[in-house]
Chains A and B, each alone.
Chain A
Amino acid sequence: MPQKNQIERIEEYHSGNMSPEETASFEKELNSDPSLKAESNFQSDIINGIKEYRKTQLKTRLNAIDVSPGWMEFAQQSALVKSFGGLAVATAIGSGVYFLAETKENPTIKPTGEVVAHAEMNVPAAKEIQFELTLPALPATDLADRVEVTRKVGTEETSVDQVQPQTSTVVENSPTEEANTQKNKEETFAPSFSAPDVAEISDNKEIGSATLDEVPSIATATEGELKPIEVESKNSKSNKIKYKYFDGKLFLNGNFNEEPYEILEINSASGRRIYLLHMKKYYEVKLNDRLSELPEVRDIKLIQELRLIKANK
């Protein structure tokens, strides 16, 4: 059994109260004396245990303190004003969501195969909404045309390999809705989830089997200010995705048979950023004129942001 003196030395050693010279000589002793070493480890356990015990005790004390900001704090930091501002914004967003929820009720998003039936059924509903919101009304025939076109795209697409579920977001993404969404969600919410824009497609007179590949995944965040990117994709058996991106065109080469890819286009004042989601992984699309492997996004923070944007599409 070590003497009191020895235990005191061990304690001094573990609490960092020894001089460098003393520490060095004590460590020499530790290495040559197994029983001293065992006693030292034992004391270290105890001291750590006491420290942890006290920490838990103090944390319990802290947890009992009410940290919700009091009225005085509100007044001091003029947070009161801020919070009313927040309330106003919340109300605005809330009512926006309410509107959206109402208008969204009918145009459900369904995989491409079922679009045909839905698109037809939803035409009257979409017409109603447009009058209700008194936004630039479109002639009924025009609207019918649009749906017609998209339907065509939808059905013919099924035969093409890279079927994309977004192609079916016909009514949801019609320009009027888009404007509505933007207004309600504040101007700053530029990022939108990639989906083909009906207007874009109907304006494109070249739609036919030859150009079908380029139709899917056209994002419309800035409503015509920026030309949406064109995507062309080919299927390969490789699990790696190769890509080229220049001049607003994106060429993809990958295994999209089992799961379609989704494209997130983020347009902000600082420029455009494009991300691709496939098999639950995010990839970043950069300007690149030689076919090369698409780099996966590994930054956890960025991935979280992208998930958020996707969830808020």
Chain B
Amino acid sequence: MKDSEILERISRGDERILDHLYEKYYRMMTKVVLSNSGTEDEAKDVYQEALLAFWQKASSGKLVLTSKISTYLYSICLNQWRKELDRKSRLSSEEVDGEEIQGHDAKERLRIVKECIDELGDVCKGVLTYYYFDGLGMQDIAEKMNFANTDTAKTKKYKCKKKLDSLIKSKYTAEDFF
């Protein structure tokens, strides 16, 4: 499959391409980490993050690719792992108490948001994640979700988002975040 074909299918949100890419480049990409004092788990993590970053950019149409997909992925993996090594060496040399407390608050809010998403139906989950993470247009969302037209997609997105907002708001008030 050509790179251009792959990109075209990603832009439509075809997740089978994600599987295909993942399998195809697994050895090649995890090697970056494995040969630089990383563990198998760390290698997998870095590769997944990199692939999803690529996926997100490509599916929302924000990616202007000037190299091969593999080269692009490889460079993200390399950067990610460098950052991680950097973070590790910083952590070992100094304590970061202040950040941790802030991080705890943010983590708690994130947990609540995820919990509320779980309470939504599958249609809402699909529409919202395709819209906000994958950055798909209404046309692609309508096709993926088998909606009659883009208007249905728009309405669904609006209603689902409103429902999620109010769900989260009620929990936020209960937990004193708002």
Contact = CB atoms under 8 A, between A and B. Distances in A.
Do chains A and B stick together as partners?
A: yes
Interface of A: 4, 15, 38, 42, 45-59, 61-62, 65, 67, 69, 300-301, 304
Contact of A15 (B37, B132, B164): B132
B27 A50 contact: no
B52 A65 contact: no
A50 B132 contact: yes
Chain B contact residues: over half helix, strand or loop, or mixed? helix
A67 B40 CA distance: 12
Chain A contact residues: over half helix, strand or loop, or mixed? helix
Contacts of B129: 50, 53-54, 57
Contact of B110 (A4, A52, A65, A67): A52
Given A46-B113, A53-B129, A67-B27, 12 more contacts: A42-B168, A45-B113, A47-B132, A49-B110, A53-B114, A54-B133, A57-B129, A58-B52, A59-B52, A62-B22, A67-B23, A300-B88
A46 B133 contact: no
Contacts of A45: 109-110, 113, 168
Nearest to B172: A42
5 contacts: A45-B113, A49-B114, A50-B113, A62-B18, A300-B88
A67 B48 contact: no
Nearest to A67: B26
B7 interface: no
A38 B172 CA distance: 12
Contacts of A15: 132, 135
A52 B49 CA distance: 11
B175 to A, nearest CB: 12
B22 A49 contact: no
A47 B165 CA distance: 10
Most buried by B among A45, A52, A58: A58
Interface in B77-97: 85, 88-89, 92
B130 to A, nearest CB: 8
A202 B92 CA distance: 46
Interface string B154-177: 000010000011001100100000
Given A67-B22, A300-B37, A301-B37, A61 B15 contact: yes
Contacts of B88: 300
Contacts of B169: 42
Most buried by A among B18, B51, B109: B109
A67 B168 CA distance: 38
Given A52-B110, A52-B114, A59-B48, A300 B178 contact: no
Contacts of B128: 50
Contacts of B158: 4
A22 B174 CA distance: 35
Given A53-B114, A58-B52, A58-B55, A300 B92 contact: yes
B140 interface: no
B52 A61 contact: no
Contacts of A46: 113, 164-165, 168
A55 B114 CA distance: 11
Nearest to A64: B19
A57 B126 CA distance: 11
Given A46-B165, A51-B133, A65 B89 contact: no
A69 B92 CA distance: 36
B178 A61 contact: no
B37 A58 contact: no
A99 B113 CA distance: 60
B92 A51 contact: no
A301 B37 CA distance: 7
B113 A48 contact: yes
Contacts of B113: 45-46, 48-50, 52-53
Contacts of B116: 49
Nearest to B132: A50
B132 A304 contact: no
A44 B110 CA distance: 11
